Amino acid sequence: MANASDIPQELLRIASDLPQELVTEILIRLPVKSLLRFKCVCKDWFTRISDPLFANAQLQQFKPIYGLICKSSKPGIFSYFNLQKRGEKEIDFKVDELLWDTVLRHSCNGFLLLQEHKFDYQFYVCNPIIRWHLKLPKFRPRYKIYSWSSLLVYDNSNHKYKVVITFYDTVSYKCGVFTLGDKEGGGDGNSCGFWRVLNMPADYKLAYCEPLSVNGALHWMACKKSEEEIRKMDTYVLLMDIASEEFRVIKSPLRPTLWWLLDLLVIKGSLCLFCPVSFDQVDLWVLSDTLKQSWNKQFSINYRLLISESLPNQNLVFHPLVVMENPSPVIIFFCYLMEELIFYNLDTREFKVEHKGISMSGMATVYVNSLIRC
């Protein structure tokens, strides 16, 4: 990181002459990498950039740069792959408790959610860019449970973050919820909050796809428990309002034949159902109106075109990672067997294949740099 001697004196003079409101407006438009350097310009800039309100404003103002992040084989190291530029960057994050037996579960606004190991419910939240972490109280279920997913979500109503665990206790699906707050940290890297358990709607069975947070709600794909034959079943979306933690159910537009390949995405700020209708084709249905439960099929993708023209192997699995607005929507797929990224423009139907040397043997998640902490 730069120090004060690296900053041109002319920049220091100009910065001191500018109105403070203008300085803030300029700074929040800069990327995180630059802001970390500019904290060394002067004491005022250090204080300003370290302010949680500034970090939140910068996150909202600056156009996000999407990347993939995963734990490296080296202890205390995260590997970062920029999805918009070539090259890999390793993020050094040396916190002793996080060095061993942790797995990466999810990310949200620059935070990473780590779990101590697969069958234990000790969680950590960290921001590797600013080398900050928080140890949560261990989640202690009363009965043996089967963990379904672990996510970190943002509550826009109070600007706090929640860890949400979805699990099954042999009777029904439930959620364990922990709220991170500014006053919950003890100053020693530990959090003193508590877990709450919520009952999910009882008549539904969850799909294997990862839940998704968008527009202030967390979404799960589901079907009725009584419907055994996949080809005949209806599918639903379970929604939990992140602020009120209340559930509701809406019907999805179709009956998938490839239930295990369903995914949820965000396209232009709306929930999107990524639904394979065959091994050659996938349809993308966008939820245009939640209250009216109105869906529109906006895109179809021909997998066979991607396989025949770009990748020789005929038995490939494409996993959708994220949709970037570029300004046209571009969906990024990861091809497991070939370790390739495919960038597919949904408007022009053009695509390109890139090899970034990404191995998905461990968990990787889409990541956006930020300065935030709790």
What local confidence, expressed as pLDDT, does residue 201 receive? 93
Asked if 49 and 75 sit in the same domain, the reply is: no
Q: What is the pLDDT of residue 246?
A: 97
Amino acid occupying residue 179: T
**How many whole angstroms separate alpha carbon 130 and alpha carbon 46?**
13
Residue pLDDT, tens place only, 162-174: 999 999 888 889 9
Summarised one tens digit per residue, pLDDT across range 324-367 is: 887 889 998 887 666 778 889 999 988 888 766 666 556 778 89
Q: Does residue 73 sit in the same domain as residue 55?
A: no
75 in the same domain as 172: yes
pTM of the model: 0.86
Same domain, 76 and 53: no
Report yes or no on 82 lying in a domain: yes
**Residue 63: Cβ-neighbour burial (10 angstroms; 0-12, 13-18, 19+):** exposed
The per-residue pLDDT for 223 is 85
CB 91 within 8 A of CB 36: no
Question: Is 22 part of any domain?
Answer: yes
5 token code pair = 């001697």
Which candidate, 101, 108, 99, 55, places its Cα nearest to that of 78? Answer: 99
Chain centroid, CA 54 distance in Å? 22
Instruction: Write down the residue that tokens 């968990």 correspond to.
Output: 363
pLDDT value at position 185? 46
The per-residue pLDDT for 256 is 60
Judge whether 277 lies within some domain: no
Q: Is residue 9, in this structure, part of any structural domain at all?
A: yes
Same domain, 72 and 172: yes
Assigned domain for 229 exists: no
Residue 20, burial from CB neighbour count under 10 angstroms (0-12, 13-18, 19+): exposed
Last residue in a domain, options 60, 77, 92? 60
pLDDT for 2 = 46
The reply to whether 15 and 80 lie within a common domain is no
Q: What local confidence, expressed as pLDDT, does residue 341 receive?
A: 83
Q: Is residue 118 in a domain?
A: yes
pLDDT for the residue 111:
95
* Residue written as token pair 């995405």: 265
Distance CA 285, CA 273 (A): 5
pLDDT of residue 1: 45
Residues 77 and 8 in one domain: no
Beta carbons of 202 and 169 less than 8 angstroms apart: no
Q: How many domains does the chain have?
A: 2
Q: What residues does 365 pair with on adjacent strands?
A: 69
pLDDT along the chain (374 residues), means of 10: 53 68 85 86 86 88 80 75 72 64 88 81 90 90 79 93 92 92 54 87 89 96 72 83 96 75 90 86 91 92 68 65 86 77 88 71 80 88
Q: Report if residue 210 sits inside a domain.
A: no
- Pair 95, 194 in one domain: yes
Together in a domain, 164 and 56: no
Domain co-membership, 167 together with 117: yes
**Same domain for 29 and 152:** no
Domain carrying residue 47:
4-60
The answer to whether residues 143 and 83 belong to one domain is: yes
Residue 183 lies in a domain: yes
Domain end point (choices 60, 89, 108): 60
Boundary (domain end) residue, out of 43, 60, 77 = 60
